[in-house]
A and B are shown apart, each in its own frame.
Chain A
Amino acid sequence: NAGVTQTPKFRILKIGQSMTLQCTQDMNHNYMYWYRQDPGMGLKLIYYSVGAGITDKGEVPNGYNVSRSTTEDFPLRLELAAPSQTSVYFCASSYGGSSYNSPLHFGNGTRLTVT
């Protein structure tokens, strides 16, 4: 059971570089999410998707872009990396929205450092 798979696990970027964080799930979940977790803080929602072809902004979308061309994949793109984007990034999925019957399934996270 793969669940939610994120790659890479670690990455160091220079300021201004770009990269894509990959996320794929094999549970046929409709909903997918990208969160960031800063030290000593809870998770902040960056973007989410309720199905293929549909994405929407979360609480902290600036500096990021997403796409959802298939049910399985939900990549997160950083175009011009900035030190403020140093964080741990989590991808998650759920069958429904954020509700009792649709708890989130998380990937193992990507630790990104921008220097």
Chain B
Amino acid sequence: AQTVTQSQPEMSVQEAETVTLSCTYDTSESNYYLFWYKQPPSRQMILVIRQEAYKQQNATENRFSVNFQKAAKSFSLKISDSQLGDTAMYFCAFGGSNYQLIWGAGTKLIIKP
């Protein structure tokens, strides 16, 4: 069975700093998808970035980028020039051959002014 592990329950950084959230996963599948979702205090789940496993190039969305290491089964999220609005829970999720996304437990990120 697939599993997703986020080893950092909580992180905090100063505004404008760069922060990296870690995520590791376990799977025997060769083709899959990985996602980072953000959940601000409003509770709305928002897709931040996604990565296809067969693409070697790391995905980038503005200030958000990933470091995808397929052999190591690692999928970290880097947030550059962090902003107060980035304060949220961040969830890593794995999408394989079935309809069930497997979710990590989340990392609470606090951006301090």
Binding site for B on A (CB under 8 A): 31, 33, 40-45, 48, 50, 56, 58-59, 88, 90, 92, 97-100, 103-104, 106, 108-109
Contacts and interface: CB of A to CB of B under 8 A. Distances in A.
Interface string B69-105: 0000000000000000000000101011011110111
Contact of B47 (A40, A90, A99, A103): A103
Contact of A92 (B45, B96, B104): B45
B45 A104 contact: yes
A62 to B, nearest CB: 16
Which of the four size classes fits the interface of chain B?
20 to 34
Contacts of B44: 106, 108-109
A58 B105 contact: no
Contacts of B50: 100, 103
Contact of A98 (B37, B98, B106): B98
A96 to B, nearest CB: 9
Interface in B42-59: 42-47, 50, 52
A100 B100 contact: no
B33 interface: yes
Q: Which 9 pairs of residues, A with B, have the shortest CB-CB distance?
A: A42-B103, A106-B45, A98-B95, A100-B33, A43-B103, A109-B43, A103-B47, A97-B99, A98-B101
A50 B33 contact: no
A48 B43 CA distance: 21
Contacts of B91: 42-43
A24 B61 CA distance: 29
